[in-house]
Structure 1
Amino acid sequence: MSIVLPSGSVERFKAVGKYSTPNRRPIEPVGRYFLAHASRTLRGHTWSEFEKLEAEKNVKQIETNEDEDLGDEEQSEELLDHDPREWKTADLYAVLGLSHLRYKANEDQIRRAHRKQVLKHHPDKKSASGGLEHDSFFKIIQKAFEIMLDPIKRKQYDSVDTLKDPQPPSAKSKYDFFEVWTPIFESESRFSTKQPVPLLGKPDASKEEVDKFYNFWGKFDSWKTFEFKDEDVPDDTANRDHKRYIERKNIAARKKFKQEDNKRVIELVERAYAEDPRIKKFKEEAKKAKAAKKWDKEADSRKAAEEAAAKKAAEEAAAKKAAEEAASAKADSKKAKEAAKAAKKKNKRNIRAAAKDNDYFGDSSKQAEIDSDLELIIEKFDDVKLGEVANRLKDSDALSAKNIINDAAKELINGGSLQASYLKYFN
């Protein structure tokens, strides 16, 4: 191809510099397309063979990525050798490689896990690879798949599948309450017929939240059933009595398992309640609030008692002053004072004797209370009142004596000299 320059362009062309000296550099092919070409060339693959291998590789990679949530759980030799006739005693989730998911596994995961185990343990594949020692395990895989895809049967199995459930620590061990008990209650909550189940909460939860939690668990209603543990009923109808016997036995066993499980949950909740630091805190706060309320409530009573004590002190001071003045006015002040003292003692003895002489008013079982009350009442009497009551009690019968003392006690209470709450018998 020739290039025709415009007229006069050659004359107008002007070089601005010289060409640089050329350098020789090695160049290597790179990139995925070159690698694909090299792979085909080295292995002698045609385009169609190469594309087929790449497609199989991509499919395998996609399947691997899809099953990432299933993990790579390997069954133990003990499980692989498990007697298929005793399939109920096998860990069916471990059989499907779902030990890490268990009751949380959904239907899609169960189906993919089953497919994965079938590809791995199918008798035809084992026969092709020369390994027949675990063929019976395939029967347990099929049984586990059947149970897991039936909502009712799976619920029955989940009722007894508590192998991986978290357990509380020993009673006297030291531990973080919320770290230990939160997963325990979360695990148990899956059995509740009522949803949602309140959470255990945090250390700063309010009393209302904590009470709501324990009230719920105190009335916990579990949907657990125990049919999975039933003894198999014979299919033959030849011996109907034996069949009915097995059915009755299974019903009784389910009832027993249910009672034991309910008891277990109750004990679990009671222990958590007893060890919950928030409950202890709430009790201390309630105790302090009650004491403060009681203190405020008794403020008036304390004030009245203080006033009565002040009045009594004033009366005693006045009586003392009067006695001193009277004593000083008499030449035989000492003798009069001793006589008054003797009279006071005598009057006290007479009042005390009133209860004893009248067989404690027919309430001899309350002797200690009557004696205690009489001492309180006597101490509140002044000399005049003491003599007056002692005189009234002379030759009185049990009922009259009791009434006289009761009247005197009421007079003291009304006068503010005695608190009614101090008396146990008289009122």
Structure 2
Amino acid sequence: MASSLWYFRENQEDKSMVLKHHPDKRKAAGEQIGEGDNDYFTCITKAYEILCDPVKRRAFNSIDPTFDNSVPSKSEAKENFFEVFSPVFERNARWSNKKNVPKLGDMNSSFEEVDAFYSFWYNFDSWREFSYLDEEEKEKAECRDERRWIEKQNRAARALRKKEEMNRIRTLVDNAYSCDPRIKKFKEEEKAKKEAEKKAKVEAKRKEQEAKEKQRQAELEAARLAKEKEEEEVRQQALVAKKEKEIQKKAIKKERQKLRTTCKNWNYFSDNEADCVKMMEEVEKLCDRLELASLQCLNEALTSTTREGGKAAVVKQIEEINEQIRREKEEAEARMRQATKSSEKSTTGGGGGSKNWPEDDLQLLIKAVNLFPAGTNSRYFSGLVLKALLTIFN
């Protein structure tokens, strides 16, 4: 209720003031009236209309004769950047549509603060407009077409002035950004950070390569040691086998010599020279054919028996060896006959190639085998002869 009374009272006062200072009232009172806009009442009325209309008021406020539109150059701020640019940004902040315009700050400002400052000004939203400077007033036009033409000319002029204003703001921000010592510091820090990261990556890669190489060398060393160990084991086994073989060879030689000596001491179990020679050949055959265990058993038997018992043991062993030799000969002859039959079949079926063995050649081959029977010292040579004959006749 009180506010309503105040509004009514204010309006009443305004109305009384208008009635008092109206040109008609003053003219009737004999006061001199100015012509056109020279009269103060006309000026007050026009100012009131502008201030009460938000659009006209913004257009009026955009034109400030006292406002400094100058932009500092890059050379002006080399030594005192903040003292030069800070007041310029502060006075231009009045044109911002957005509130809470960020400050330029100082050398202690963080990267986020500096980045927010330049992001704001590079995207500056200005409410400043230049319709108040229109050269033509469309209300003075005589027709609609003329009003449209005047409005078109005014819009073009406003757009040009707005573009010049935004270029001025952009030049201000560009000059500040290029001269800002914090930007240089941040770039150096970023460069140093990237170089450090690059060095860290190179160092990490180098360490990784070194670790791989070290692991590879360790694997190679382990493989070498394993190989050397294996070779050493094989060498030791070979030495043991050789030693055992030498021991066995010496033992066999010893047992053979013992058998020969025993048989010689007993005159080969006969008083007839021819029988002694024959027995001597049979004893040598035993020495060639018998293994170490058999020789040891035979020598033990000869040691613990009489001459007749020893002769019986030797004769029994000779008979076993001769039987073994006979079986080997029969098997060899059977293989030869089988090979001959196969050769004849291949010759007959193939119509050429290998020739049939004549009877004389077969007898010659049998004689060669009988001359160097299996189980004798010359059995290796007999094998060579057999191979040579087979090669010749095939």
Q: TM-score range by the shorter chain?
A: 0.3 to 0.5
Which structure carries more helix by proportion?
2
TM-score (norm 1): 0.37
TM-score calculated relative to the size of structure 2:
0.40
Between structure 1 and structure 2, the one with the greater Rg is 2
